[in-house]
Amino acid sequence: MARVVFPDHLLQHTGGTREIEVQASNYRAVVRAVDREWPGIEEVLIKSAVAIDGQIYQDAWLEPVREDSEIFFMQRIEGG
């Protein structure tokens, strides 16, 4: 099961839950699984960046997720 971690700014959408485990083979499936848990959160997640096993994606979609992956949602960064 992949481990999904929510930072503070997403806790209002998860009722305070910081971590869950999901069965998914890619990022899109992770988002769908999380949205099943907290309907509507997908709208927020797609505006977030995500780190999958340390690799930061501004716009993830079909990136593969392993059985033991860590998925860490984070604020989007752009820069100057």
Partner 1 sequence: MAEARDYRAIGTRPVRPDGVDKVTGRANFGADMNLPNMIHGKVLRSPHAHARIKSIDGSRALEMPGVYAVISGADFPSGAEGEISGEGGGTVSDLAMNIMARDKALYHGHAVAAVAAKTAFLAETALELIDVEYEVLPPVLDVDVAMEPGATLVDENQHTRGNESAGPSNIAAITKFERGDPEAGFAEADVVVEGDYRVPTAHQGYIEPHACTATLDEQGRATVWCCTQGHFDVRSMTAGVLGKSVGEIKVIPSEIGGGFGGKTVIYLEPLAVKLSELTGRPVKMVMSREEVFRATGPTSASHCKIKVGAKRDGTITAATAWMAYEAGAYPGAPVGPGCMSVFAPYDLENFRIEGFDVLVNKPKAAAYRAPGAPQSMHAMESAMDELARRIGMDPIDLRLKNCADEGTQAPYGPVYPPIGIRKCLEAAKVHPNYTTPKAEGTGRGIAAGFWFNIGMQSSAEVRLSEDGTVTVMEGSPDIGGSRASMCLMAAETLGVPYDVVRAHIGDTESTGFCNVTGGSRTTFATGLAVVQACEDIIAECKKRAAATWDIDADQVDWTEGEAIPKPGVNIDVQPLSLADIAGSMGRTGGPILGRASLNAQGAGAGFSVNFADVNVDQETGKVDILSFTAIQDAGTAIHPSYVEGQMQGGAVQGLGWALNEEYIYDDNGVMENAGFLDYRVPVASDMPMIDTQIIEVPNPSHPYGVRGVGETPIVAPLAVTSNAVSDALGFRISDLPLSPPRVLAAIDAHEED
Residues that bind partner 1 (CB under 8 A): 5, 7-9, 12, 47, 51, 53-60, 63, 70, 72-80
Inter-residue contact 28 to 72 (CB < 8 Å)? no
What's the min distance (Å) between Cβ of 37 and partner 1?
Answer: 19
Backbone φ/ψ region at 50: left (φ over 0), alpha (ψ -120 to 50), beta? beta
What's the min distance (Å) between Cβ of 52 and partner 1?
Answer: 8
What's the min distance (Å) between Cβ of 72 and partner 1?
Answer: 4
Identify the DSSP state of 18: -
Whichever of 23 and 75 has its CB closer to partner 1, that residue is 75
Measured distance CA(77)–CA(38) in Å, rounded? 25
